[in-house]
Amino acid sequence: MARKNPLDYQRLEIETLGPAKINSPLLGSSPQGDREQDESLAWEAFTDDSQRILMDATLASIVKFKEENMTPASFEQAGARRQIYFDPSKSRAGILTAGGLCPGLNDVIRSLVMTLHYRYGVHNILGIKYGYQGLIPSFGHSLVQLTPSLVSEIHQFGGTILGSSRGNQSVEELVDSLERLNMNILFCIGGDGTLRGANAICAEIKNRGLKISVVGIPKTIDNDISLVSRSFGFETAVSVATEVIRAAHTEALGAPWGVGLVKLMGRDSGFIAATAALALGDANFVLIPEVDFDVEGQGGLLDKLAERLKSRGHAVLVVAEGAGQKFFQTETVIKDASGNILHSDIGQYLADRIRTYFKSRNHELNLKYIDPSYIIRSAPANSTDQVFCSFLGQKAAHAAMAGKTNLLIGQWNDHFVHVPIAMAISRRKKVDPMGELWNSVLERTGQPNLMAEKEEK
């Protein structure tokens, strides 16, 4: 008998509301009207619950699991099921967006509406305004009837037509509203806080014995959700950030002892800063939350920056917003409405420290500080993210109609998969300081160790 594998995470099993017994309306007709051919094509177009995607697909891992007689951890593959749980003609779906803005939100909304309406025949789709607030009566936000004509062009614009908000709302009130609205499907598009809310809603739904499917589409521009290899909006953010770094480099070159300092998103994870710096190669110093650094002292940032300026005459620094928080001494932790820790402004801090350092040495300095965060967040998705968002919306609709719940749609090993929300929010994904991405950044930039030498006592 196989031993229990401590790494299989219970095979990452997905909750369902019950047996799926309704033939999917996706069983279309072949152009020739050949019923036998139609059935054959239909079987190939659908995904079975038994189809799994290995969490670790390396040969060494597979051999190890085989030798130790253990079942490797695997995700349930996302996709349309041949039989569904909900009757489309009687279904009412809701869509909400919550948290900060991110490129691609409108694209996901559009994909959900188009898939539900045209592929499944669900014509009762409601847009919930301003995140979870839209389900709380006291806020007074109206609902929006989402139709293909309404959403047909929204992918051309940034932001979200449904609006967004932060803040913890009463789970009991949220589920009360779902019941009053006779809503049996809820799509939650958002990051860590939004997904935590969705997980709590699922628990309350289960306690009440209701049949409501809750499906998450992970939205984090920082690409920091665990068990999700890529989140929508990240590639757009990197693309825009790359052009900002290019501008900072141009500014730095345009003046003697020129310094371009760019602050990018990355509250707890430095994926955008690292990837954008790697893409362009103009950055000389990249500072992220996962890698410690000193500002003062021999070997610290200011010391190494002075060496760079002396040898090359210009420099570009890229810093993630959550980097260097050790330099801010605060007795109390301040959080936003969603429970995220509000970090101090490392970008302005570094700009001030750099100016003070060179002024104290009576040395010329031309520093340009650029914070493009809101420009990046509100940008329309680029073509790569648009395609990705389209797939996410489609897969989310398939999962919900099949009666699956308390899951999010993610991508893993180039496959779309179902990930239990509880697993995804259990920890935050971070840049590995010993991993390939960060080592590639160090090679690309030539960045030295920025920890100051300790003085001997």
- 365: exposed, middle or buried (C-beta count within 10 Å: 0-12, 13-18, 19+)? middle
| Superfamily covering domain 236-379+433-445 | Phosphofructokinase domain (3.40.50.460)
| Residues known to be catalytic | 222
The answer to whether 9-30+40-231+381-424 and 236-379+433-445 have equal CATH topology is yes
Q: How many CB atoms lie within 10 A of CB 341?
A: 12
Give pTM, 2 decimals.
Answer: 0.90
Q: Which residue has the tokens 């697909």?
A: 57
Locate 192 and state its tokens. Answer: 């860590």
pLDDT averaged per 10 residues, the chain (length 457): 46 91 79 47 75 82 68 91 96 96 96 97 97 96 97 96 92 97 97 94 97 96 90 95 97 96 95 96 96 96 96 97 90 61 87 96 95 94 96 98 97 95 92 96 94 72
Q: What residues does each domain of the chain span? A: 9-30+40-231+381-424, 236-379+433-445
Q: What per-residue confidence (pLDDT) applies to 112?
A: 98
**Right CATH number for 9-30+40-231+381-424 from 3.40.50.450, 3.90.226.30, 3.30.499.10, 1.10.3720.10?**
3.40.50.450
Q: State residue 148 phi and psi, 5-degree precision.
A: -55, -40
Strands (E), 165-323: 185-190, 213-218, 258-264, 285-287, 314-320
Closest listed residue to residue 213, CA positions, set 190, 189, 184 = 184
Q: What per-residue confidence (pLDDT) applies to 341?
A: 67
Entry field: residues in the chain: 457
Q: What per-residue confidence (pLDDT) applies to 32?
A: 46
Asked whether 341 and 334 are in contact (CB, 8 A), the reply is: yes
Closest listed residue to residue 152, CA positions, set 219, 96, 107 = 107
Q: What per-residue confidence (pLDDT) applies to 339?
A: 60
Q: What per-residue confidence (pLDDT) applies to 58?
A: 77
